Amino acid sequence: MAYVIVPELCTKDNLCFDACPEACISPAAEDANYEATDSLYINPELCTDCSACVAVCPSDAIYLADDLPAEYADAAGRNKAFFN
Ligand code: SF4
Ligand code: SF4
């Protein structure tokens, strides 16, 4: 299991990026692809389910993969695909 960011809900305020102790949220603001990316994404291979990102997200954009709202069910695959 891993946490998942719903791109449609993410405002890219980077609060989760700063809160994550595992550095598994991308892209970083200084990355070349940051401006062209519509959302931050969580690497499911690195996420330890600590939920620190959920606690700081003001947009309720982060869910456990199994708890994603039905209309955002494809978000888990989109987070994973960002790192492939
Ligand atoms: S649950 Fe923890 S490890 Fe996973 S993305 Fe959020 S802050 Fe990082
Ligand atoms: S804290 Fe929430 S709104 Fe902010 S960048 Fe992370 S997922 Fe997006």
* Boundaries of every domain in the chain: 3-82
CATH of the structural domain 3-82, one choice from 3.30.420.40, 3.40.50.10240, 3.30.70.20, 3.40.190.10: 3.30.70.20
- Residues 6+ positions from 48 with CB-CB distance below 8 Å: 22
Best residue among 1, 5, 16, 50 to mutate for probing ligand 1, ranked by most atoms within 8 Å of CB = 50
**Cβ(4) – ligand 1 distance below 6 Å:** no
Is residue 78 very low, low, confident or very high in pLDDT (cuts 50, 70, 90)? very high
C-alpha to C-alpha distances, 48 to 14, 24, 37, 52, 65, nearest whole angstrom: 19, 9, 24, 10, 13
Would you say the pTM of this structure is higher than 0.75?
yes
Q: Does position 1 have pLDDT exceeding 90, yes or no?
A: no
Whose CA is closest to atom 2 on ligand 2?
57
pLDDT tens, position by position, 13-65: 999 999 999 999 999 999 999 999 999 999 999 999 999 999 999 999 999 99
Atom of ligand 2 nearest to the CA of 17: 6
